[in-house]
């Protein structure tokens, strides 16, 4: 099976669904990453790309792809965004897609979600993940990540320049990820979970 995770910025994917992707990887499925921007508004673009590749060394995806958009400027390029995502979909033909949820304070996350909805209109399984800037997130799909939570932390720590950029004094990105995993785990009746809102989820019986 092929799984595509799309993130507006470096580290979005790790925050939102790294534990789930690692489970897919451990079961032998192919993982592909598509990052829309290099996140230069949050730090040096070259450094952030390097950090993304370091995180990928842990996950070992089949391919890491970059869309080449400018950080904070996805919104005006909706038709182009849809087209570029469709190119990737036609190339790899994923069975599952994960992307940023649209109810979010960051304009890039909102734009990516809208473009994903249009681009994936013929894809069966499309789920949206949360980040710290997401709000009104009421998930109905949960994945137990107890066996992959440590790898998730390691992937987040690979984004070293972003670890303390939580805007919460004394809390690192790992602290935020752990508290989220515990909270979603409680909702899903497990110790640690990642949670998703599905656009479509096809149950194959």
Q: Please, which pLDDT band fits residue 205 given cuts at 50, 70 and 90?
A: confident
pLDDT at position 152 = 98
Please give the average per-residue pLDDT across 26-32, as a whole number.
Answer: 97
153 domain-assigned: yes
Cβ 162 vs Cβ 111: under 8 Å: no
pLDDT digits (tens, 9 = 90+) for 168-192: 999 999 999 999 999 999 999 999 9
Q: Please, which pLDDT band fits residue 21 given cuts at 50, 70 and 90?
A: very high
pLDDT at position 196 = 98
The rounded percent of the chain whose pLDDT value lies above 70 is 100
Closest CA to 29 of 74, 75, 61: 61
pLDDT digits (tens, 9 = 90+) for 121-131: 999 999 999 99
Q: Where are the beta strands (DSSP E) in 8-140?
A: 30-37, 63-69, 96-100, 125-129
Taking the CA of residue 76 as centre, how many other CA atoms within 13 Å lie in the half-sphere pointing to its CB? 5
Task: Read off the pTM.
Answer: 0.96
Please give the average per-residue pLDDT across 98-120, as a whole number.
Answer: 97
- Residue 75 pLDDT exceeds 90: no
Closest CA to 163 of 44, 51, 72: 51
44 domain-assigned: yes
Host domain of residue 35: 2-200
pLDDT at position 117 = 97
Closest CA to 34 of 90, 107, 105: 90
107 domain-assigned: yes
How many angstroms from the chain centroid is the CA of residue 154?
15
Query: Mean pLDDT score of the chain, rounded to an integer?
Result: 96
The C-alpha atoms of residue 133 and residue 116 are separated, in whole angstroms, by 18
Q: Please, which pLDDT band fits residue 76 given cuts at 50, 70 and 90?
A: confident
| CATH number of the domain residue 117 falls in | 3.40.50.10320
pLDDT at position 118 = 97
pLDDT at position 194 = 98
36 domain-assigned: yes
205 domain-assigned: no
Cβ 175 vs Cβ 133: under 8 Å: no
Please give the average per-residue pLDDT across 75-94, as a whole number.
Answer: 95
Q: Indicate the number of domains in the chain.
A: 1
pLDDT digits (tens, 9 = 90+) for 130-168: 999 999 999 999 999 999 999 999 999 999 999 999 999
Burial class (CB in 10 A: 0-12, 13-18, 19+), 126: buried
């Amino acid at each position: 099976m092929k799984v595509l995770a799309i993130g507006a910025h470096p580290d979005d994917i790790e925050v939102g669904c790294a534990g789930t992707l690692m489970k897919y990887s451990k079961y032998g499925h192919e993982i592909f990453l598509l990052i829309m921007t290099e996140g230069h508004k949050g730090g040096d673009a070259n450094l952030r790309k390097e950090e993304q590749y370091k995180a990928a060394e842990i996950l070992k995806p089949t391919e890491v792809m970059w869309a080449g958009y400018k950080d904070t400027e996805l919104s005006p390029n909706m038709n182009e965004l849809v087209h570029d995502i469709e190119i990737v979909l036609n190339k790899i033909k994923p069975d599952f897609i994960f992307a940023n949820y649209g109810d979010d304070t960051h304009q890039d996350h909102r734009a990516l979600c809208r473009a994903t909805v249009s681009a994936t209109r013929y894809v069966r399984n499309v789920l949206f993940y949360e980040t710290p800037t997401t709000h009104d997130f009421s998930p109905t799909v949960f994945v137990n990540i107890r066996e992959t939570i440590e790898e998730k932390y390691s992937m987040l720590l690979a984004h070293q320049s972003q670890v303390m950029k939580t805007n919460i004094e004394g809390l690192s990105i790992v602290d935020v990820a752990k508290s989220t995993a515990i909270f979603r785990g409680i909702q899903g009746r497990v110790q640690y979970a990642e949670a998703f809102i599905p656009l479509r989820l096809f149950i194959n019986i």
